[in-house]
Amino acid sequence: MLRVRCACATPSCGLSPFPHVCCHSRISFVFWVLAVSLCTVLLAACGSSADTEAERAAVALQIAQEYAEDLDLDKAQAALNNLDVANPRQWLMLQTETLAADADPSASALALLADALNSQQTQIEPQEPAASPPLPTAEPTTVPTTVPTTEPTTEPTEPAAKVFPSPTAAPPLPAPATESLLPTPTPPPTLPQGRATGPANVRSGPDTAFDFLLSLPPDAVVDLIGKTPAGDWWQVQLADGSSGWVFAQLLAVSGAADSVSVAAVLPTLPPPPAPVAAAEPAAEPAAEPAAEPAAPAEAAPQGAAGPHFQLVEKRLWDVFENGGQKDGPTVICGERRELHVYVRDAAGSPLNGVAVQALLGAKEILVTGSQGKGDGKVEFVLGGGQYVTVARDNDGREATAETAYGLTTDPREIPFEQFMAGQYCSDEAACNFWANPTNQPPPCSGHFSWTVVFQRNY
């Protein structure tokens, strides 16, 4: 059986029922405080260098706490730049989000520093889901009652004499019915439901290439209203009345799932934009000879009709690139979660000055060659995942470009062929362990890296 171990900053302990699987659960507040205290003592004795994710997080927290006391932003910025991370500002935002999600009071110091660096995301704390609209109820039928004509008195009165009907008197007519004859409305049938077995992304269509809408927290319950013909994606009803799509393996289904029909309208992805071809020059009319020869016009560069960038490579890093190891069939997970984007011209030469834009989260724009990471290159820090494209050419012109979708760190959304190419598994049965683990978190969750290459049309 395929086994997985984790090269985590904090070693596995005997409390884990699955010692062969990476422990990427969030540390409770008490253990977090003890870990930060221990890391602070070690860092004071060994300097400010940090080699593991946990040590870097501890150093960032210490930097934020010192900034909260002395408000020396230059000193804090310099200390952050010494951390061995791809993008210190974006990495600091990710640490702030992680502590805020755990209600850790230490997040306030990180949030203060992130705000000072003008890099805090618009929303750190998760929003409360919108309340479901109340179901319509039938108006109650009003039953008329007889209203007494006189107010009862508090003084005792003589009992009224009994009146016996005459034997020949006709029987009284029955009173007209006052209750409503309308049938009682029946509640709508209960829809099958899906419960998120972990964080589950809701998208605008049944594919990871569609836009990300929101993330369902673990154990969130949604109604199932449709599915794809293959049954690999569910269409779900959200609390605000809108709908979206969730990968079927991320939901535990209850109810009559077989009664859910294929969605009447299945969203489709737009075709990629065709490269813009240079317009053929129109035939020039014959001109009369000029008295003096005109100066020759400069030839327009190839691609002057508009720069276009094509996605030529999207690759998951293998086990070793990502800082991991292998021991036979056993994979020891690495700790990296990086996105490296390269931009080249038609001849394959690196291009500096090209604006590369992330499409999720803070939607940060980075310029190739400006980070000191190499010519024609930018680096992003991956959280749960990212989409990326090219926004502008190096001459400032707006550009058309393909988009690299599915750059995720969730192993349940990574195609098997990418896993096998990255040496995480050797066949479909072994890869299914990464995508569908039983009774344990997904292996290496949150720690995958990608490389993307764009090429210009001239």
Give residue limits of the domains in the chain. 4-116, 193-259, 308-321+336-456
pLDDT: which is higher, 440 or 58: 58
| Of residues 403 and 102, more confidently modeled | 403
Least confident range of 27-41, 323-337, 397-411, 428-442: 27-41
Lowest model confidence (mean pLDDT) among 59-68, 147-156, 319-328, 361-370? 147-156
Write down the pLDDT at residue 367.
94
* pLDDT tens-digit map of 329-363: 888 889 899 999 999 999 999 999 999 999 988 88
Helix axes 29-46, 53-70, angle to 10 degrees: 80
Q: Which segment, 25-34, 98-107, 147-156, 218-227, is predicted with the most confidence on average? A: 218-227
Residue 29 pLDDT greater than 90, yes or no: no
CB 63 within 8 A of CB 79: yes
Q: Would you place residue 426 in the very low, low, confident or very high pLDDT band (cuts 50, 70, 90)?
A: confident
- Range from 47-56, 253-262, 269-278 carrying the lowest mean pLDDT: 269-278
Residue 226 has pLDDT above 80, yes or no: yes
Percent of the chain with pLDDT strictly greater than 90: 26
Read off the pLDDT of each residue in 214-220 and give the average, rounded to a whole number.
88
Q: What pLDDT band is residue 441 in, cutting at 50, 70 and 90?
A: confident
Region 254-263 average pLDDT: 89
209: which DSSP letter? T
d(CA 267, CA 439) in angstroms, rounded, equals 33
| 153-170: average pLDDT | 50
Higher pLDDT, 130 or 203: 203
If one compares 43 and 424, the residue with the highest pLDDT of the two is: 424
Distance CA(66)–CA(64), nearest Å, equals: 5
Max intra-chain CA distance, the chain? 137
Q: What is the mean pLDDT of residues 315-337?
A: 90
Average the pLDDT over each of 44-48, 149-153, 197-201, 411-415 and give the range with the smallest value.
Answer: 44-48
Residue 356: what pLDDT?
96
Q: Which pLDDT score is estimated for 322? A: 92
Residues near 170 by beta carbon (within 8 Å), at least 6 away in sequence: none
CATH topology of domain 193-259: SH3 type barrels. (2.30.30)
pLDDT for residue 419: 87
pLDDT at 31 > cutoff 90: no
| For residues 285-305, average pLDDT | 46
Q: Tell me what percent of the residues of the chain surpass a pLDDT of 70.
A: 64
pLDDT band at 110 (very low <50, low <70, confident <90, very high): confident
Q: Are 72 and 64 in contact (CB under 8 A)?
A: no
Confidence class for position 439, pLDDT limits 50, 70, 90:
low
Report whether pLDDT(139) > 70.
no
From CA 442, how far away is CA 384, in angstroms rounded? 13
- Rounded to whole angstroms, the Cα distance separating 293 from 239 reads 74
Q: How many other C-beta atoms are found inside a 10 Å radius of the C-beta of residue 234?
A: 27
Residue 117 has pLDDT above 90, yes or no: no
> Higher model confidence: residue 162 or residue 443?
443
